[in-house]
Amino acid sequence: MGNRLANEKSPYLLQHANNPVNWYPWSEEAFEEAKERNCPIFLSVGYSTCHWCHVMERESFEDEEVAAILNHNFVSIKVDREERPDIDHIYMSVCLAMTGQGGWPLTILMTPDKKPFYAGTYFPKHEKWDRVGLVEILIQVSEKWRQDPGLLLGMAEKVSSSVFAEKRYSQDGELNEETLLKAFSLAGELFDKEYGGFGTAPKFPTPHNLAFLLRYWRREGGREALDMVTHTLERMYRGGIYDHIGYGFSRYSTDKKWLAPHFEKMLYDNALLALAYIEGYQATGRKLYARVAKEIFTYVLRDMTSPEGGFYSAEDADSEGEEGKFYVWTPAEIKDVLGEQDGAAYCRLFDITAKGNFAGRNIPNLIDAPSFNDDGELTLAAEETAGYIESLRNKLFDAREKRAHPHKDDKTLTSWNGLMIAALARGAAVFGEDLYRRAAVKAVEFIMQKLRRTDGRLLARYRDGEAAYPAYLDDYAFLVWGLWELYEADFTASHLENALALTGQMIDLFWDAENGGFYFSGKDTEQLISRPKEVYDGALPSGNSVALLNLLRLARLTADGELMDIAEKQIKAFSGSIGQYPWGYTHFLMGVDFMLGPTREIVIAGKAGAADTGAMLNAARQAFLPNATLLFHPPGETGRQIEKVIPFLKEQRQINEKATAYICENYACRAPVTDLQQFADMLQQEPVYLSRNVHH
């Protein structure tokens, strides 16, 4: 017999629809029921591809004994953190404050008026591994609620008043080049010189850390920042965190070598990592990085794209109830597919042994494989060509496709789609690959058609024909990022128009006019127990950090002083907090780097499709110019459309019918050039850095 989750669209909630626990979705009905019964609420937050969520479901939520305790003593609520990140943010902050750690599944016990008094993550059914058992917790709490509810209500008031008091970000201090240096120095202290990445296991890719270091290298010169990036990019690719048979990255590595991943694959990681590898390629010209980015896109377009054009959210770590089963191999399985000789060659190269490197089986990896050559291929014996290795991979991929696949979370999230649109757009621009551009355009069209209300308000989630939940800050910020990247890929004026319109909506819905910064949820949404602002850049960059860089780039592109004013206020709002530990805010620091300047505005005036125009655009796109904006001004009606968005383009036209480049830097414009080599030389000239503080 099902419960109330059977009517939901979330894959995670539907996974629990047949539990004996009488689950409610987050709803007024649930809270009214708790008030009527005068009982506490058991809140469980997770997501459909979460390994420990599955474990807790098998051990406890499918168990009749646990269900009886919950149904008799609590009102139980299930929340998909990817659909309701607002709820997740609020109660995860409680867990971090009460226990010092967080993660999923998130377990909260709270009063009927949503005030928490107990928090944790995964609990086994009964005590084991020094972890208290769920049954013991539930029995103790239900007895205490009956005997002395005032004690728990008092705890809830105390927790709420301390955790939910609006966080005051320090505004003391300047964010300047010294802040960037401090972040770089912290990176150096945390850097793993042997295997790349930062800190110890578990290791997360955190691509914005690499993006920041590339910008720091571009600003300061020297090799150290660049070497941290290149070493990390190569070591991550070599590891088992990368799927060498089907492509794409898993969420994190459980060890320092990047060997054994937590096997779930998230759309956002693959979007941000594709961007990191593309920027690595732009900065160094190393073909390996271009190949990895293209392989990520192959994976996403093959396995993570809906027929309608949106991108799916994630793939599970588990299949057939076992973590990683889909991805691991024995030597015998390899040889069954490839034959003895080819199988032995593959096993030797990809570390497939009888002993195994993961619970007696093997994760294919290149950790100890030979070096890569200039073409981005492994340096192997003459007969082991790249084509030969690829033929083996293809056979193994076809064989693996016949296995039971991990669950795919097929909902479309506006925020994560924005990131993949940004990555594909950059790939289209840098690699000249129209397939990527078309996929990005189709995803934008899907969001604009399916994930907007009739009044234009963005929505957060689409699945099975239904769009729901007013979009959060991340949805607006990440989608705007995708739109301006897509403008620089195909120069369609509507992308910029949409980016500017959504930015205006974002300011109206989320901006804190009193203290600066953006709230996570809009002023028009359900009023939860608190309304937080997030600026920390964790596994994902924060909405505030992405919004800052968007505001700065759009202000430069359009010469809009109001957008620049908001960006300056945003930097001021968080300056003291970021200055204390800048390495925790590396995406935000990319905005600071942009604000410090110099920035370049590059305009190419020329005929669309003409050879000289294409050559100039390609020169600008191939170079690593993170603080440059690129505009295209063609003649005719298309040119007039972009002039409506960016009026100053009217003056920047072709000279003598030739493609003409205009470069402005530090608010001064150079003489226009029509010679391709002269333009390329100008792009490579070191920018003139004007040291100054940001925020006064």
> What is the number of structural domains in the chain?
4
pLDDT tens-digit readout, 204-254:
999 999 999 999 999 998 899 999 999 999 999 999 999 999 999 999 999
Q: Are residues 418 and 364 in the same domain?
A: no
- Stretch 409-435: mean pLDDT: 98
Give CA–CA dist 250/270, Å, rounded. 8
Cα 241 off chain centre by:
16
Q: Are strands 660-665 and 628-633 parallel, antiparallel or unpaired?
A: unpaired
Q: Is the peptide bond prior to 626 cis by the omega test (within 30 degrees of 0)?
A: no
User: What tokens appear for 14 in the block?
Assistant: 């539907």
User: Is the model's pLDDT at 695 over the cut of 70?
Assistant: no
Tokens linked to 690 = 């004007």
CATH for 155? 3.40.30.10
Q: Which amino acid is at 74?
A: F
Specify the CATH number for the domain of residue 647: 3.40.30
For the whole model, what pTM was predicted?
0.96
DSSP code of residue 407? P
Q: Is the pLDDT of residue 485 over 50?
A: yes
Positive or negative, the Cα torsion across 319, 321, 324, 329? negative
Single-letter code of the amino acid located at 198: F
Name the residue type at position 344: A
Position 694 scores a pLDDT of: 53
253 and 128 share a domain?
no
- Identify which of 55, 33, 30 has the alpha carbon closest to the alpha carbon of residue 43: 30
pLDDT above 50: residue 74: yes
The pLDDT value given to residue 657:
94
Spatial distance between the Cα atoms of 239 and 262, rounded to a whole number of angstroms = 12
State which of 596, 624, 647 marks the end of a domain: 596
489-522: pLDDT as tens digits: 999 999 999 999 999 999 999 999 999 999 999 9
- The angle formed by the CA atoms of residues 294, 297 and 300, to the nearest 5 degrees, is 155
Kindly report the CA angle at 297 between 294 and 302, in degrees rounded to 5?
A: 130
Residue-averaged pLDDT of the chain: 95
Give residue-wise pLDDT tens across range 551-604.
Answer: 999 999 888 999 999 999 999 999 999 999 999 999 999 999 999 999 999 999
Distances 644 to 488, 633, 648 between C-alpha atoms, Å: 17, 12, 9
Cis status, amide bond into 406, omega within 30 of 0: no
**Tokens standing for 266?**
């998230």
- Single-letter amino acid code for the residue at 432: G
Mean pLDDT of 10-15: 97
Do residues 233 and 289 make contact, with C-beta atoms less than 8 angstroms apart? yes
First to last CA, the chain: 62
Q: Which candidate, 308, 354, 313, 301, places its Cα nearest to that of 332? A: 354
pLDDT, mean of residues 97-113 = 95
**Residues 295, 427 within the same domain:** yes
User: Has residue 364 been placed in a domain?
Assistant: yes
Please report the pLDDT score of residue 693 as a whole number: 53
> Parallel, antiparallel, or unpaired for β 116-120 and 252-253?
unpaired
682 exposure class (CB count in 10 Å sphere: 0-12, 13-18, 19+) = middle
Q: How many Cβ atoms from other residues are within 10 Å of residue 395's Cβ?
A: 18
Mean pLDDT to the nearest integer, 96-121? 95
Distance of alpha carbon 5 from alpha carbon 9, whole angstroms: 9
- My answer on whether 72 and 36 are in the same domain is yes
Is residue 135 in some structural domain?
A: yes
Q: Is residue 694 part of a domain?
A: no
Res 690 pLDDT > 70: no
For residue 105, cis peptide bond before it (omega within 30 degrees of 0): yes
Query: Do 297 and 445 fall into the same domain?
Result: yes
User: Which of 268, 292, 290 is closest to 281 using CA atoms?
Assistant: 290
Indicate whether 170 belongs to any domain. no
Give, for 463, the enclosing helix (H) or strand (E). Answer: strand 459-463
Task: Say how far apart CA 181 and CA 222 lie, in whole Å.
Answer: 13
The radius of gyration computed from the CA coordinates of the chain, to the nearest angstrom, equals 26
Residue 441 has pLDDT above 60, yes or no: yes
Same-domain status, 304 and 396: no
CATH code of 547's domain: 1.50.10.10
Structure tokens at 61: 């939520």
In this prediction, residues 111-132 reach a mean pLDDT of 94
208 and 187 co-located in one domain: yes
CA 305-311-317 angle, 5° bins: 85
Residue 165 has pLDDT above 90, yes or no: no
Question: CA-CA distance, 376 to 280, in Å (whole number)?
Answer: 13
Q: What angle do CA 202, 205, 210 make, to 5 degrees?
A: 135
Is the pLDDT at 666 greater than 90? The verdict is no
Residue that is last in its domain, among 540, 571, 596: 596
Share of the chain above pLDDT 70, in %: 98
The rounded distance, in Å, linking the Cα atoms of 303 and 96 is: 35
Same domain, 423 and 300: yes
Same-domain status, 396 and 422: no
Residue 662 lies in a domain: yes
| Confidence at residue 559, expressed as pLDDT on a 0 to 100 scale | 87
- 696 confidence band (pLDDT: 50, 70, 90): very low
**pLDDT of 428 over the 90 cut:** yes
Q: Residue 10 above 50 pLDDT? A: yes
Domain boundary among 136, 163, 190: 163
Same domain for 55 and 195?
no
Q: What is the pLDDT of residue 166?
A: 66
Cα–Cα distance, 597 to 553 (Å, whole number) = 12
Q: Domain range holding 664?
A: 600-684
- Average pLDDT for 115-143: 95
CB-side exposure of 558: number of CA atoms within 13 Å? Answer: 23
| Sign (positive or negative) of CA dihedral 235, 238, 241, 243 | positive
Q: Indicate if 526 and 562 belong to the same structural domain.
A: yes
Q: Which residues contact 31 (CB under 8 A, 6 or more apart)?
A: 41, 75, 112, 113, 114
Bridge partners (DSSP) of residue 631 are: 603
Q: Is residue 562 within 8 Å of residue 547, measured between CB atoms?
A: no
Domain membership of residue 658 (yes or no) is: yes
Residue 338 counted as domain residue:
yes
Residues 153 and 125 in one domain: yes
Is residue 382 situated within a structural domain?
yes
At 692, is the pLDDT very low, low, confident or very high (cuts 50, 70, 90)? very low
Residue-wise pLDDT for 35-73, tens only, equals: 999 999 999 999 999 989 999 999 999 999 999 999 999
Burial class (CB in 10 A: 0-12, 13-18, 19+), 382: exposed
